[in-house]
Amino acid sequence: MAALKGRSLLSLADLTTDEMLHLLNTAARIKSGEINPQCPQKILGLVFKKASTRTRVSFTAAMYKLGGQVIDLNANLTQIGRGEPTADTARVLDRYLDVLAIRTYAQSEVEDFAHHGNIPIINALTDLEHPCQILADLLTVQEAFGSCKGLTMTYLGDGNNVAHSLILGCALVGMNVRIATPEGYEPDSDIVKKAEALAQGRSEVVVTHDAKAAVSGAHTLYTDVWASMGQEELAEKRIPIFEPYQINAATLAIADPQAIVLHCLPAHRGEEITAEVMEGAQSRIWDEVENRMHAQQALLAAVLGAV
């Protein structure tokens, strides 16, 4: 984990397989109480330009549990909201903070912060990726099955930022990943190629329009809302297009009998997932929510050199 000290996490592709597995195992040890890393007097800054519940609270709770402090830099109450150049903001925050988590629109913005500053920058969600969510997802799979290696993850829905990071994360840990989307909603082809390179033949990366084939025998079923933040005006139009990709009792019945169900939340019950499945015995959604905090504790501790 020493190799992660001082480094940014802008994409899961920034990690090696060993680093990813170390983060997952460290998170599991933190959750179990086996270890309790501390980062006293370290300060985490949050720059969130998009609404957030789980990411904001889990990062805050994680840093407090590490013995550090958090400054929530509301974009509307700082010069960020008035258009101060990213290069200037990055160099200012670099003098005050020890680590910065950014939730924004363009991937280029987190890249610019990392380029102009010296502190670790963590991608807390962009339109391209959501790496911290997938750390929690894979931790949840690991808890359920003991390991991710050789299992199959099926994602149903829009080929969005969550799907992108899921493809990369599964490739790193040797987990087969199937992405089933309607035509025209596939994940970015460059992300798929990058994941295939990361997989190194250890696992499969499949993009398909056939939901049933993608679900058949899968060990984990995953979904997200059909219209991401900023696409709300498209939500109604997308419902009939995405209906065949809903996770419901019939979907779950053709997966592996021990399959678990995940959702990054917030959920639109009755659209991408039914309430029955979400609250059912195979749902691990609330464990997944908790694991955001543990995974981010591990990540923060690693980049701050505490583990």
Predicted pLDDT at 78: 85
How far apart are the C-alpha atoms of 10 and 126, rounded to whole Å? 9
Q: Which residue has the tokens 């900023």?
A: 230
Domain boundaries, the chain: 2-129+292-303, 133-288
In the beta sheet, which residues pair with residue 221? 154, 261
229 or 204, which is more confident: 204
Q: Is 63 annotated as a binding residue?
A: no
Does the active-site annotation cover 7? no
Intrachain domains 2-129+292-303 and 133-288 with the same fold = yes
The verdict on whether 263 is a catalytic residue reads: no
3-state SS, residue 273: strand
Q: Which residues 6+ apart lie within 8 Å of 176 measured at CB? A: 150, 151, 152, 153, 170, 203, 204, 205, 206
User: Which architecture characterizes domain 133-288 according to CATH?
Assistant: 3-Layer(aba) Sandwich (3.40)
The answer to whether 131 is annotated as binding is yes
Establish whether 224 is a catalytic residue: yes
- Is 189 marked as a binding-site residue? no
Which parts of 80-147 are beta strand (E)? Answer: 99-103, 121-123
Order of strands, sheet of 152-156, starting from the edge strand that comes earlier in the sequence: 205-208, 176-180, 152-156, 220-223, 260-263
pLDDT surpassing 70 at residue 230 = no
pLDDT in tens, 69-119: 999 998 777 888 888 999 999 999 999 999 999 999 999 999 999 999 999
The model's pLDDT over 247-304, given as tens digits with 9 standing for 90+, comes to 999 999 999 999 999 999 999 999 999 999 999 999 999 999 999 999 999 999 999 9
Helix axes 189-199, 161-173, angle to 10 degrees: 10
The one catalytic residue among 22, 56, 98, 103: 103
Q: Give the pTM.
A: 0.96
Catalytic residue among 22, 56, 130, 284, which? Answer: 130
Nearest to 27 by CA among 1, 55, 53, 54: 1
User: Does the annotation list 103 as a binding residue?
Assistant: yes
Mean pLDDT of 142-166: 98
Catalytic annotation present for 130: yes
Q: Is the peptide bond before 266 cis (omega within 30 degrees of 0)?
A: yes
List phi, psi (to 5°) of 220.
-140, 130
Answer yes or no: is pLDDT of 228 > 80: no
pLDDT (tens digit per residue) in 4-22? 999 999 999 999 999 999 9
Superfamily of segment(s) 2-129+292-303: Aspartate/ornithine carbamoyltransferase (3.40.50.1370)
* Among the listed residues 46, 39, 38, the one whose alpha carbon sits nearest the alpha carbon of residue 96: 46
Whether 297 is catalytic is: no
Active-site annotation holds for 133:
yes
Rounded to whole angstroms, the Cα distance separating 76 from 90 reads 17
Residues 167-203 pLDDT 10s: 999 999 999 999 999 999 999 999 999 999 999 999 9
Under a CB-based contact definition with an 8 Å cutoff, are residues 221 and 247 in contact?
yes
How many alpha carbons fall within 13 Å on the CB side of residue 257?
0
